[in-house]
């Protein structure tokens, strides 16, 4: 009874808060739990970019951006609660930063007409915009990542991986399982042997997996990890003296937080990326002036320039550019989530655009279309320099093996369409 009364009071308090007419962006972040080390910098970057736009330009197209933060703890139940709690505020786009929550939200958001941007994560076959009309995963996805890593290894071995053994250490969830199918197809093509080593949530216990690595001596180890799992894996690899330059992480396993705890041992560890590293960009002067020095930075304000901060900022930049595109297309500044979807579908990122935003050469160029919601699959490999304490790109941006990935995307999205009675088409 008491609880019902309190709930009623809370409900009236919620209802009493005024609904403002701005561009609402929901940041479903996680600043608590085993994934917080990676959730915090991403969320800080995401929010700071919108703060910068508000402070410097007065919003986007004259319309202020209001960021609503909701803590998910990387937990799907809380993620659903966040989605339901915030969608009524006029949210334009969701960036769940969790493959598990993405799977929950794909049908819900599609029914509600709110676009999802799952940047470099989520359901890979959402690349097929004919089936997944409200889901976008540009500029790259997991299957691109798997192919990029293998391409890098093929190049290092002079064009062939015959007789080599490649191990995949992965988070035993939808996220970690995503690349397996692609890696299996690529194994047939390039002749390597694939070895699967699942790690259960949250990933603090990996002794047995790395013992297997020690026994079976794979030539290369790929990793699909997140949160505390990354740090533990890098540390374990150091402990068994696995050559770090043969250890490649996906872009979610390549932040400073993941390698710093292992100290000098982590030197040479590689990871993929779809955007540039460091803070040597003109936009950081503006960020310092309008956001950090003004005391308006999200969180503690100590993450500026880190890999995941950059990625959060990049995600916010792509969202802001999509809003601009939508505003131009529809001629209104206060856009709806439907118009946002149109903006995302017609988004084009060019070098000139990025340079104009103060992020020259920050990411690959790409163009979204109704058929292709996933970009072109360009990425690069970066390597950790422990003594300098920084990442640096060691390759140019190169494209994933589209001959392998396109049919896989077609097949998986067709299965989804058949399961859910979706009529594909633009």
Interacting residues toward another protein by CB under 8 A = 3, 6-7, 10-11, 13-14, 17, 29, 31-32, 36, 40, 69-71, 73, 75-77, 80-81, 84-85, 87-88, 99-100, 103-104, 106-108, 110-111, 123, 172-174, 177-178, 180-181, 198, 200-201, 299, 412, 415, 419-421
Of 402 and 420, the one with the shorter C-beta distance to another protein is 420
Minimum CB distance to another protein, residue 178 (Å): 6
CB 347, min distance to another protein, A: 25
CB of 362 to another protein, least distance (A): 28
DSSP lists the bridge partners of residue 198 as 170
Answer whether 311's CB lies under 8 Å from 305's CB: no
Q: Which is nearer to another protein, 299 or 360 (CB)?
A: 299
Name which of 196 and 292 has its Cβ closer to another protein.
196
Q: Where are the alpha helices (DSSP H) in 89-227?
A: 99-112, 142-156, 174-177, 180-190, 207-216
- What is the rounded distance in angstroms from the CA atom of residue 18 to the CA atom of residue 420? 38
Q: Are 24 and 89 in contact (CB under 8 A)?
A: yes
Of 190, 125, 183, 184, nearest to 156 by C-alpha is 190
Q: Are 123 and 132 in contact (CB under 8 A)?
A: yes
Q: Which residue has the tokens 């890999």?
A: 307
Task: Check: CB of residue 143 under 8 Å from CB of residue 407.
Answer: no
Smaller CB separation from another protein, 238 or 297: 297
Kindly tell me which of 29 and 51 has the beta carbon lying closer to another protein: 29
CB neighbours of residue 351 within 10 Å = 13
- Strand-strand pairing, 378-385 and 270-273: antiparallel
Of 288, 290, 316, nearest to 49 (Cα)? Answer: 316
> At closest approach, how far in Å is the CB of 355 from another protein?
34
Shortest separation between residue 77's beta carbon and another protein, angstroms: 7
Which phi and psi (to 5°) does residue 368 adopt?
A: -90, 145
Residues 6 or more apart whose Cβ sits within 8 Å of residue 408? 124, 125, 143, 181, 182, 185
Please state the closest distance from residue 18 (CB atom) to another protein, in A: 13
User: Helix, strand or coil for residue 26?
Assistant: strand
**Closer residue to another protein (CB): 70 or 238:** 70
Q: Would you say 123 or 275 has its CB closer to another protein?
A: 123
Nearer to another protein, 222 or 259 (CB): 222
Rounded Cα distance between 245 and 384, Å, is 9
Cα 319 from Cα 116, distance rounded (Å): 10
State in angstroms the smallest separation of the CB of 78 from another protein: 9
Closest separation between CB of residue 96 and another protein, Å?
Answer: 13
* Nearest to another protein of 88, 282 (CB atom): 88
Minimum Å gap between C-beta 196 and another protein is 11
Tell me phi and psi for residue 218, to 5 degrees. -65, 150
């Amino acid at each position: 009874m008491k609880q019902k009364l309190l709930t009623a009071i809370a409900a009236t308090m919620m209802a009493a808060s005024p609904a403002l007419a701005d561009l609402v962006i929901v940041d479903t972040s996680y600043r608590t739990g085993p994934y917080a080390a990676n959730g915090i910098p991403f969320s800080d970057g995401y929010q700071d970019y919108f703060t910068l736009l508000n402070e410097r330009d007065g919003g986007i197209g004259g319309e202020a951006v209001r960021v609503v933060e909701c803590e998910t703890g990387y937990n799907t139940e809380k993620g659903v609660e966040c989605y339901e709690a915030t969608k009524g505020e006029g949210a334009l786009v969701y960036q769940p930063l969790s493959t598990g929550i993405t799977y929950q939200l794909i049908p819900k958001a599609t029914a509600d007409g709110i676009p999802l941007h799952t940047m470099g994560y989520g359901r890979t076959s959402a690349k097929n915009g004919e089936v997944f009309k409200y889901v976008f995963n540009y500029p790259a996805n997991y299957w691109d990542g798997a192919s990029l890593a293998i391409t890098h290894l093929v190049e290092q071995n002079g064009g062939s991986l015959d007789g080599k053994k490649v191990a995949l250490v992965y988070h035993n969830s939808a996220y970690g399982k995503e690349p397996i199918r692609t890696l299996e197809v690529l194994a047939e093509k390039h002749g390597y042997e694939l070895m699967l080593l699942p790690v259960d949530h949250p990933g603090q216990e990996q002794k047995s997996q790395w013992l297997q690595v020690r026994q079976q001596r794979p030539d290369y180890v790929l990793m699909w990890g997140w949160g505390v799992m990354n740090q533990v894996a890098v540390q374990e690899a150091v402990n068994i003296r696995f050559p770090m330059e043969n250890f490649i992480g996906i872009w979610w396993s390549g932040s400073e937080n993941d390698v710093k705890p292992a100290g000098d041992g982590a030197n040479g560890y590689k990871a993929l990326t779809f955007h540039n590293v460091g803070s040597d960009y003109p936009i950081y002067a503006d960020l310092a002036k309008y956001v950090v020095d003004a005391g308006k930075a999200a969180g503690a304000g100590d993450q500026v320039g880190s890999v995941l901060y950059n990625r959060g900022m990049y995600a916010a930049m792509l969202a802001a550019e999509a809003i601009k595109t939508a505003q131009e297309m529809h001629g209104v500044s206060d856009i709806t989530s439907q118009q946002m979807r149109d903006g995302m579908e017609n988004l084009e990122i060019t070098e000139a655009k990025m340079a104009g935003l103060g992020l020259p050469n920050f990411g690959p160029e790409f163009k979204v279309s109704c058929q292709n919601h996933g970009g072109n699959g360009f990425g690069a490999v970066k390597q950790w320099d422990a003594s300098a304490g920084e990442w640096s790109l060691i390759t140019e941006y190169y494209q994933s093996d589209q001959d392998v990935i396109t049919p896989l995307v077609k097949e998986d999205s067709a299965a989804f369409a058949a399961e859910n009675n979706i009529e594909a088409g633009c």
